[in-house]
Structure 1
Amino acid sequence: MEQPCFSANRNGTCAAATAPVAETLLTASLALLAALVILCSGRRTSAGAACRFLASLALMLFYPAVSYTLGSRLANDNVVWACFLLSCADTIFARAAVDLATQAVLLAQATQAVCVLLLALLPNATSLQPRLLILLLLPLCALSLAKLGARLRSVLSPSRDRALAADNWLVSSYMAHEYVRSVWDFDAGTMKGYRYVVTGEKDGDGGFAGYRLEVTDELVTVDRVWQQHDDDGGAMDDDDSSSRLKDLCLSFALFKLLRRRLTGDPLHERDDDRTLAFVRKGLAGGDDHERMFRVIEAELGFLSDLLYARYPSPQQSLAPETAVFLASMALGLSALFLFSSSSPAVLHNPHPQAANILLTRLVIALFLILELFHYSSALSLVYFSDWHKVKMFCRYVRKPSWILQRLLRLALMCRPSTRQHWSSNEIGQYSLLHACLRRTTGAARRSLPLPATVKRAIHRLVRSEWLSDLKYGDRTLQRHDMLHDFDWSTSRYRQYGAVGSILVWHIATTICAGAAGGCAGGSREVATTLSNYCAYLLQQAPELVTDHPYEARRLMEALQLRIRRFLAHNGCRSEGDMFDELPGFQPREAGDGGYEEDTIVADGIKLGCQISDEMPDEAARWDVLSEMWVELLLSAAPSGNVTGHVQRLATGCELVTQLWALLTHGGIVDRPKKPYYESTACADGGSDSDSDSC
């Protein structure tokens, strides 16, 4: 029987046979590592779904590939790249964590990586030169153990949750204080009377479970920031930079207010008269619709950084990160100069293979690049981010000086702000009817840049007096004196809340768009974009617009199945065929297998025909539809599902999440109740035959 390859009398033939395998496995590990460095080079939210999938796949395959590579007996000159490769894995695991559950899994993998590193090193310790072992490999193991210990402490420590709860308690107690609430002379346009705290909400000596506000110079509020700007003409030479700094402080104050919803703290300002005026005349005041969205995006960006930043908190010191970075760079650079073809004396093998030397250098180079990027990202978050700009501006508000003016101007010039790449400014699109056509299923789901016309339409309704009385489209119909004829379309399907109205109006809007000419481009763009976006939410994220997401998903599946069967039965192969055959749709009776989806399809077709008949002017028709969809979206945006919105922040900023935050600051945290009219009963019995009138 042949002796195994790892016997005491092993010869060079075995080593030669295993070398190509080890080099191949190492090359595959290097390819995965390079992919991770490239795919993880930006914020998670700046990448598309495909990039995030590829990054997750590479991360999933990287550790098994490294472990399998090290499973075979390593030659002496393999030990160096093995140790650096596992250190790269340790750094990758540190940057990939998103939430506590993911951190726990990746922490276990990192622990295994350190164990594999020790197991790879110990059997070869006796065959290595002491200089290589003491000066390079042992410090590298100690560095990996230090990283592991720091992450273990951060995962197991409850300090983050406690700090969040304590900070929210401070802000909530501050907002309930008489100093904040007893303000009757206010102006949302100039922020007069809006004492929303930016920084300095410290707890005085109020005793156990008490809160005593100390109004000192350290307390910086929104109205104080605006007053400071008016007193000295702004910290910047140009008004645009000064206004952006003020808005950044406003975003930070709103972030602190919104953060209370994570821990369920009360919103004491919800019923304050100033709250709704703040949104209507403050955030949405003036004609600049971009400012309203910019402030909310920056606010949600602060929240995303707090919850999902891969790097230390912007409020923490970088001293530990700096020490680890300097140690890693010293070890990596030392290895590059030490491990070369001109200095083989560090190994017992006086003739190391050229391929091993090249691969070792590649591993070390990737290790250095990874550590450099990891530290520079943490550095930019702490010192070049919007967090630091707010900190500097508040310091200037407390003690104005020309030095801080120069620093603020320099900070604004360094504008690779994390916020610019955090919001993708895209809006998802999904057309229910087009998705049911077999040949256009792929085109039915897509994303497109958020049009400026949509932002203007939302801004127009937010600043209007109708914001306080949204009702699933009823207020739009009331403004156009059409409520009596169309009230059935907004008040039915009470058990589904906004879902039933959204689906009926989505089908009707799709039918109107299929028969429309080239007029009313702006209004038509708003109506069709928001219609497809609401359908996209029901398809992809129903938890953001309804309290019963499972029922919404089942309803969407039933609608797709019913429409597909109808189109297939009538031989529809194109969009024109579909619009020609839809007027002939007949809902089934309950005894024949007909359910709610039949009634929704029939009502959507009926509504589309009624809109075309009663609004022959195409421009006026699309004006009504655009306003209708803005009100429908704003009616569905308030939600108590804070977890759903927060989880979506990990991959981007949905438009409905921005509206959810905006309405929260206006005191609108609950969806309006579904309206009910006596005429609804009449419509319930007439939907079967009215669709033929098209």
Structure 2
Amino acid sequence: MGIPKLSETVKRLWNGWELRMVMLVSLFLQIFLILFGRRRKYTAGFWIGNLVWLAYLSADWVATFSLGILAQKIGDSETNCTNSNRGVIPAFWAPVLLVHLGGPDTITAYSMEDNELWLRHLLVLGSQVAVAFYAFTRSWWSEDPLLFVAIPIFVAGIIKYGERNWVLRSASSKQCRNEMNELSRKFEEFSNPDVFEMTDEPVVGEVGLSDIILEAKFLHEADLCFQMFRVLFADLVLGDSIHLATHIFQQKNAMEAFKLIEVEMGFMYDVLYTKLAKVRSSRVIFRATTFLCLVSALLAFSIGMTENNHAYLTAEITISYLLLYGAIVIEIYSVVLLLFSDWAMLWLTGQRKPLFNSVYRTICSSRFLNNDKRWESRMAQHNLIRFQLSKRKLTSISLKKLLGKLESISLRKLLGKLKSISLKKLLGKSNIQSLEDVGDDLKDLIFEHLLDKRRRYKLMMRSPDPGSNDLHAILSERGDQVIGREKCLGNFGWSVKLPDFNDSLLTWHIATDICYHDDVRKNGGGDAINIHPNCKMSIELSNYMVYLLVDYPFLLPRGIGNERYIQTCSAVNDDATLLERIVSDQHSSWDFGRTISKLQKSRRKVSVLCAGFKLAKSLQTLVRRDGWENQRKWEMISQVWVEMLTYAASHCGWKEHARTLTRGGELLTHVCLLMAHLGLSEQCLTTGF
């Protein structure tokens, strides 16, 4: 008897609160998305990314589901409430769902593929407007006294949903390319290579940056370079006009150059994934109309409730107020975000008036107001040997304890299978061991290396000179130029000229790691304090590149890197005891020769573990036999890693780089864009060669 009664109670509760709950869930998802949707721009947090993904997918589904229930409930209210208005569902709930389907300004698209599906969203727009209108027309027969409240919300909903489709279409590849064809003509006026020889002041006048206050000059320079970046993103070619960006960046130090890149990346993120870049300027009329429609609907509903306070149930009245206030607060928050964004600051300082400049200085000086965050300046780390050893140690210890207490053979087999399943893999979490700051020293190292490449590639030279201005050769350098400069090609050339770049990457990763542990061991007691700063940067870049290889191989040149990584991990497992002693940083003796001999006997012939140890031995020999200082060795290693980084950056498509913007941005993408602005990109080839 108890179960049927309980079932009946649950059924009544569900029938009574089904629509109310889904309406509130839809509102909650909109609030969550507008608060956290833009955090992807500057943070690579796993939970934030996945929760935003779940909310983004759920928001449209919940709103669509709610529209279907709403149409059915309104139909039921026609027959059940013929003599009384109590229990009538507010007619404006349907257009409120259209407002929700329009989505918040902070996240229009979750990924680039969403932009390509704008036609599908347009079809959904038509169908959902039809359903909402159907639900609205059925309300005519329900004797809803506040039917007219739905009219301004309908206008707001159609504007919001239409605006979303327009933004998606504008960010699609085809439309971007059409726009960029027109934009590329804009830079033809700067195609004169004499720009490269101009001093800073004439260039500022040429590009229209005169009278811009010094504090905001970087925003306008970033916007100018961003227009070029969009041309490159559309897979178009910039000619001699690239002299302009090159001139701008050559006047900067490393910190200023990376700051410009961060602003550009923020602009690109807003163009591809939000409405912020499109709702400004001439589109502000639509935003004002939407806001006024929602406010007028709230006022009309409030007045109607005062005169007809028995028209709806208390629950419907409360939810109606929540929906209307929620929509208005979201609109206000969107406007605030826009007003304090880089887009607004760009417009504000572009007016070149003292009052506007004062407002800009006030906003910039206030930590509370200036909240447009950019890049976190962090890079993920993944050390192959340490990761594999720690995973092996963790699984073996925990399973031995569990299996020692179990007597059932079937359970043992089950657990044996479960031990290989990683919770991180099930959750889709990447293999990040830690996050390291991209420090000023590393930025200096990268920027100076790129300037050196720029100097060797003399853009002004019209006569062919493969030794100094062969761009393709310069972009193909992946460590050989650094090693050749040190006259070590005979010893190390093989390690950077392997057929597959990923083999070279893993070989140098293992060698760098082993050299570090060997140096620490020689210091005595595992003291790493006296290790040269270039050693730290080498380790960080090495671990970062392997992280890309494991989690985002599409950012690296094509090859069999994933297979080679797996094979090398298996080799680490085979010789785990030996490697644990080597990387323990204890003052224990071990010999390169004996270690390499043992590794050569391993059955994992295709791994790069042995090659990494051979390279490490050769690098350590530079100090022991050839008289190098340890500092010089690590300077060369760090330069090799920077060259590998630039090689990978220049051999990745722009669309792949654009996908990284939703995870806070990658150092590799910043380097790639910096190279392009310095003319170190095959899309920046000039005519005449």
Corresponding letter in the other structure for 1:642: W
CA distance, structure 2, for counterparts of residue 450 and residue 13 of structure 1: 55
Q: 505, 509, 525: which is aligned to 2:508?
A: 505
CA distance, structure 1, for counterparts of residue 97 and residue 432 of structure 2: 44
CA distance, structure 2, for counterparts of residue 335 and residue 109 of structure 1: 29
Deviations 1:90-116 (A, max 9, x none): 232776432423544544555454344
CA distance, structure 1, for counterparts of residue 158 and residue 450 of structure 2: 54
> Are residues 1:292 and 2:295 paired?
no
Aligned residues: 580
Q: 559, 567, 571: which is aligned to 2:568?
A: 559
CA distance, structure 2, for counterparts of residue 63 and residue 668 of structure 1: 43
Q: 407, 414, 421: which is aligned to 2:373?
A: 421
**Counterpart for residue 488 of structure 2:** 482
What fraction of aligned residue pairs are identical, expressed as a percent?
18
Q: 26, 35, 38: which is aligned to 2:35?
A: 38
Q: 545, 560, 573: which is aligned to 2:556?
A: 545
**Counterpart for residue 533 of structure 1:** 544
Q: 317, 320, 329: which is aligned to 1:369?
A: 329
What is the Cα deviation at residue 133 of structure 1? 0.7
Deviations 1:120-158 (A, max 9, x none): 33333222344x012x02332343234444555666689
**Counterpart for residue 383 of structure 2:** 431
CA distance, structure 2, for counterparts of residue 630 and residue 406 of structure 1: 45
Q: For the Cα contact (< 8 Å) 1:426–1:450, is it kept in 2? A: yes
CA distance, structure 2, for counterparts of residue 20 and residue 594 of structure 1: 65
What is the Cα deviation at residue 297 of structure 1? 2.1
**Counterpart for residue 627 of structure 1:** 639
Evaluate the alpha carbon distance shift between residue 265 and residue 87 of structure 1 in structure 2; reply closer, same or farther with a 3 A threshold: closer
Query: Could you tell me the TM-score, scaled by structure 1's length?
Result: 0.72
SS in structure 2 of the partner of residue 667 of structure 1: coil
SS in structure 2 of the partner of residue 421 of structure 1: coil
Q: State how 1:343-422 maps to structure 2 within 5 Å.
A: 343-345=307-309, 347=311, 352=313, 354-380=314-340, 384-386=344-346, 388-389=347-348, 391-392=350-351, 396=352, 404-415=353-364, 420-422=372-374
Evaluate the alpha carbon distance shift between residue 423 and residue 148 of structure 1 in structure 2; reply closer, same or farther with a 3 A threshold: same
Corresponding letter in the other structure for 2:350: K
**Counterpart for residue 62 of structure 1:** 59
> Are residues 1:576 and 2:564 paired?
no
Q: For the Cα contact (< 8 Å) 2:95–2:132, is it kept in 1? A: no
Corresponding letter in the other structure for 1:191: D
Deviations 1:161-210 (A, max 9, x none): 4652343331353344xxx23568x25xx436758xxxxxxxxxxxxxxx
**Counterpart for residue 73 of structure 1:** 73
Higher relative contact order (CA 8 A, sep 6+): 2
**Counterpart for residue 186 of structure 2:** 171
CA distance, structure 1, for counterparts of residue 350 and residue 434 of structure 2: 40
Q: 137, 158, 161: which is aligned to 1:145?
A: 158
What is the Cα deviation at residue 582 of structure 1? 6.5
Evaluate the alpha carbon distance shift between residue 316 and residue 640 of structure 1 in structure 2; reply closer, same or farther with a 3 A threshold: farther
**Counterpart for residue 256 of structure 1:** 227
Q: 656, 675, 679: which is aligned to 1:667?
A: 679
SS in structure 2 of the partner of residue 283 of structure 1: helix
CA distance, structure 2, for counterparts of residue 17 and residue 653 of structure 1: 44
CA distance, structure 1, for counterparts of residue 337 and residue 58 of structure 2: 25
CA distance, structure 2, for counterparts of residue 635 and residue 419 of structure 1: 35
Q: For the Cα contact (< 8 Å) 1:519–1:618, is it kept in 2? A: no
What is the Cα deviation at residue 418 of structure 1? 8.4
Q: For the Cα contact (< 8 Å) 1:172–1:265, is it kept in 2? A: no
**Counterpart for residue 124 of structure 1:** 139
**Counterpart for residue 51 of structure 1:** 48
What is the Cα deviation at residue 321 of structure 1? 1.9
Corresponding letter in the other structure for 2:142: S
Corresponding letter in the other structure for 1:633: L
Q: State how 1:264-275 maps to structure 2 within 5 Å.
A: 264-269=235-240
Point out the more displaced range, 139-148 or 61-70: 61-70
What is the Cα deviation at residue 20 of structure 1? 4.3
CA distance, structure 1, for counterparts of residue 167 and residue 259 of structure 2: 33
List gaps (5 residues or longer) in structure 1. Answer: 1-11, 196-219, 229-233, 237-241, 397-403, 672-694
Q: 642, 665, 674: which is aligned to 1:653?
A: 665
SS in structure 2 of the partner of residue 448 of structure 1: strand
CA distance, structure 2, for counterparts of residue 573 and residue 78 of structure 1: 72
Q: State how 1:92-111 maps to structure 2 within 5 Å.
A: 92=103, 96-98=107-109, 99=112, 100-111=115-126
Evaluate the alpha carbon distance shift between residue 633 and residue 108 of structure 1 in structure 2; reply closer, same or farther with a 3 A threshold: same
What is the Cα deviation at residue 625 of structure 1? 2.1
Q: For the Cα contact (< 8 Å) 1:511–1:605, is it kept in 2? A: yes
SS in structure 2 of the partner of residue 79 of structure 1: coil
Evaluate the alpha carbon distance shift between residue 48 and residue 427 of structure 1 in structure 2; reply closer, same or farther with a 3 A threshold: same
What is the Cα deviation at residue 45 of structure 1? 4.3
SS in structure 1 of the partner of residue 434 of structure 2: strand
CA distance, structure 1, for counterparts of residue 343 and residue 633 of structure 2: 52
SS in structure 2 of the partner of residue 384 of structure 1: helix
Q: For the Cα contact (< 8 Å) 1:436–1:563, is it kept in 2? A: no
SS in structure 1 of the partner of residue 73 of structure 2: coil
Deviations 1:440-495 (A, max 9, x none): 7987533332222211222332344786375322333344443332222222x13x
What is the Cα deviation at residue 55 of structure 1? 1.8
Query: Could you tell me the TM-score, scaled by structure 2's length?
Result: 0.73
**Counterpart for residue 303 of structure 1:** 268
CA distance, structure 1, for counterparts of residue 134 and residue 664 of structure 2: 41
CA distance, structure 2, for counterparts of residue 29 and residue 60 of structure 1: 12
Q: For the Cα contact (< 8 Å) 2:223–2:264, is it kept in 1? A: yes
SS in structure 2 of the partner of residue 327 of structure 1: helix
Q: For the Cα contact (< 8 Å) 2:291–2:331, is it kept in 1? A: yes
Evaluate the alpha carbon distance shift between residue 302 and residue 447 of structure 1 in structure 2; reply closer, same or farther with a 3 A threshold: same
List gaps (5 residues or longer) in structure 2. Answer: 1-8, 78-86, 395-421, 425-430, 457-467, 469-473, 521-527, 684-689
Corresponding letter in the other structure for 1:519: N
Q: 506, 520, 531: which is aligned to 1:520?
A: 531
Q: For the Cα contact (< 8 Å) 2:382–2:543, is it kept in 1? A: yes
What is the Cα deviation at residue 510 of structure 1? 1.4
**Counterpart for residue 133 of structure 1:** 147
CA distance, structure 2, for counterparts of residue 307 and residue 61 of structure 1: 21
CA distance, structure 2, for counterparts of residue 556 and residue 662 of structure 1: 29
SS in structure 1 of the partner of residue 275 of structure 2: coil
Evaluate the alpha carbon distance shift between residue 385 and residue 650 of structure 1 in structure 2; reply closer, same or farther with a 3 A threshold: farther
Evaluate the alpha carbon distance shift between residue 47 and residue 444 of structure 1 in structure 2; reply closer, same or farther with a 3 A threshold: closer
Evaluate the alpha carbon distance shift between residue 284 and residue 436 of structure 1 in structure 2; reply closer, same or farther with a 3 A threshold: farther
Deviations 1:482-516 (A, max 9, x none): 3332222222x13x2x3332221111111123332
CA distance, structure 2, for counterparts of residue 47 and residue 466 of structure 1: 31
